[in-house]
Amino acid sequence: MRRAAFWISAAMAHSIVTIDDLSNDDIEAVFGLADRFLADMSPEGRLRRIRGRCSLAQDHVLATLFYEPSTRTRLSFESAMLRLGGQYISCADSKVTSTVKGETIADTVRVVESYADLIVIRHPWEGAAQVAADYVDVPVINAGDGGHEHPTQTLCDLYTLRVGDGRAGRRTLKDMTVVLCGDLRHGRTVHSLVYALARLGARVIPLPASPDLDFPEHVRRRLSRDYNFVPLDVAELPDASLPADVLYITPEKPHQLSLLESDALNVSIKLLTKKEQQALRDIKGVDAFYATRLQVERKEGDAGETSYPVIDREFLKQKPYRHSQVMHPLPRVDELGYDVDEDARSVYFQQAANGVPVRMALIASLLELVPAALAGGAGRRTNYRVYERPNTLRCSNANCVTAQPSEQRYLGQKFWLVGEAMPTVRCAYCDYEQEPKVISSARSKRYRLDVSSWKSISADDLALFESEAQALAAGYQAKKLTGREATATQSI
Stretch that binds ligand NCD, among 42-50, 301-309, 324-332, 383-391 (CB under 6 A): 324-332
Q: Is the peptide bond before 309 cis (omega within 30 degrees of 0)?
A: no
Does 192 engage in binding with ligand NCD (CB under 6 A)?
no
User: 314-345: buried (b, 16+ CB within 10 Å) or exposed (e) per residue?
Assistant: ebbebebbeebbbbbbbebeebbbeebeeeeb
Does 64 engage in binding with ligand NCD (CB under 6 A)?
no
Q: Report, in this order, helix, strand and coil percent for the chain, each rounded to 5.
A: 35, 15, 50
- Measured between alpha carbons, how far is 159 from 360 in angstroms, rounded to an integer? 13
Catalytic residue among 53, 72, 437, 479: 72
Would you call 123 a catalytic residue per the annotation? Answer: no
Stretch that binds ligand NCD, among 22-30, 107-115, 325-333, 461-469 (CB under 6 A): 325-333
Question: Which lies closer to ligand NCD via its Cβ, residue 297 or residue 368?
Answer: 297
- Measured between alpha carbons, how far is 290 from 288 in angstroms, rounded to an integer? 7
Looking at residue 362, its amino acid is: L
Residues paired with residue 438 on neighbouring β-strands, in sequence order: 465
Dihedral angle of Cα 210, 214, 217, 218, to the nearest 10 degrees: 140
Report the residue from 73, 350, 354, 413 that binds ligand NCD according to the rule CB under 6 A.
73
Stretch that binds ligand NCD, among 57-65, 124-132, 241-249, 329-337 (CB under 6 A): 329-337
Question: Which lies closer to ligand NCD via its Cβ, residue 83 or residue 150?
Answer: 150
Closest distance of CB 295 from ligand NCD, Å? 6
Does 329 engage in binding with ligand NCD (CB under 6 A)?
yes
Binding to ligand NCD, residues 353-412 (CB under 6 A): none
Report the residue from 139, 144, 206, 243 that binds ligand NCD according to the rule CB under 6 A.
144
Does 191 engage in binding with ligand NCD (CB under 6 A)?
no
Residues in contact with ligand NCD, shown as a per-residue x/- string from 273 to 292 under the rule CB under 6 A = -------------------x
Question: Which lies closer to ligand NCD via its Cβ, residue 144 or residue 309?
Answer: 144
- Measured between alpha carbons, how far is 194 from 301 in angstroms, rounded to an integer? 26
In the sheet that 118-123 helps form, which strands lie side by side, from edge to edge?
87-91, 61-66, 118-123, 140-145
| Torsional class of 368: left (φ above 0), alpha (ψ -120 to 50), beta (otherwise) | left
Does 76 engage in binding with ligand NCD (CB under 6 A)?
no
CA 371 to chain centre: 28
Question: Which lies closer to ligand NCD via its Cβ, residue 145 or residue 276?
Answer: 145
Closest distance of CB 146 from ligand NCD, Å? 10
Does 14 engage in binding with ligand NCD (CB under 6 A)?
no
Question: Which lies closer to ligand NCD via its Cβ, residue 146 or residue 254?
Answer: 146
Catalytic residue among 14, 60, 64, 73: 73
Closest distance of CB 178 from ligand NCD, Å? 16
3-state secondary structure of 327: strand
Stretch that binds ligand NCD, among 29-37, 259-267, 326-334, 476-484 (CB under 6 A): 326-334
* Closest by CA position to 209, among listed 333, 346, 340, 344: 333
Beta 177-182 vs 246-248: how paired, if at all? parallel
Question: Which lies closer to ligand NCD via its Cβ, residue 132 or residue 280?
Answer: 132
Binding to ligand NCD, residues 99-128 (CB under 6 A): none
Question: Which lies closer to ligand NCD via its Cβ, residue 160 or residue 189?
Answer: 189
Would you call 101 a catalytic residue per the annotation? Answer: yes
Question: Which lies closer to ligand NCD via its Cβ, residue 18 or residue 189?
Answer: 189
Does 189 engage in binding with ligand NCD (CB under 6 A)?
yes
Q: Sign of dihedral through CA atoms 236, 238, 241, 247?
A: positive
Looking at residue 66, its amino acid is: F
Report the residue from 14, 60, 150, 426 that binds ligand NCD according to the rule CB under 6 A.
150
Residues paired with residue 385 on neighbouring β-strands, in sequence order: 417
Closest distance of CB 165 from ligand NCD, Å? 19
Looking at residue 162, its amino acid is: R
| Torsional class of 144: left (φ above 0), alpha (ψ -120 to 50), beta (otherwise) | left
Report the residue from 330, 370, 478, 481 that binds ligand NCD according to the rule CB under 6 A.
330
Is 394 exposed, middle or buried, given 0-12, 13-18 or 19+ CB atoms closer than 10 A?
A: middle
CA contacts within 13 A on the Cβ side of 194: 34
Catalytic residue among 60, 83, 150, 293: 150
Residues in contact with ligand NCD, shown as a per-residue x/- string from 418 to 447 under the rule CB under 6 A = ------------------------------
- Measured between alpha carbons, how far is 20 from 286 in angstroms, rounded to an integer? 28
Would you call 72 a catalytic residue per the annotation? Answer: yes
Closest distance of CB 177 from ligand NCD, Å? 22
Which H or E element spans position 143?
Answer: strand 140-145
Residue 487 — φ and ψ, nearest 5°? -60, -45
Closest distance of CB 367 from ligand NCD, Å? 22
Please report the beta strands in 203-313, taking only residues with DSSP state E, as ranges in sequence order.
203-208, 246-248, 289-291
- Measured between alpha carbons, how far is 285 from 263 in angstroms, rounded to an integer? 20
Question: Which lies closer to ligand NCD via its Cβ, residue 156 or residue 378?
Answer: 156
Which residues are marked as active site?
A: 72-73, 101, 122, 150
Binding site for ligand NCD (CB under 6 A): 72-73, 144, 150, 153, 188-189, 292-293, 329-331
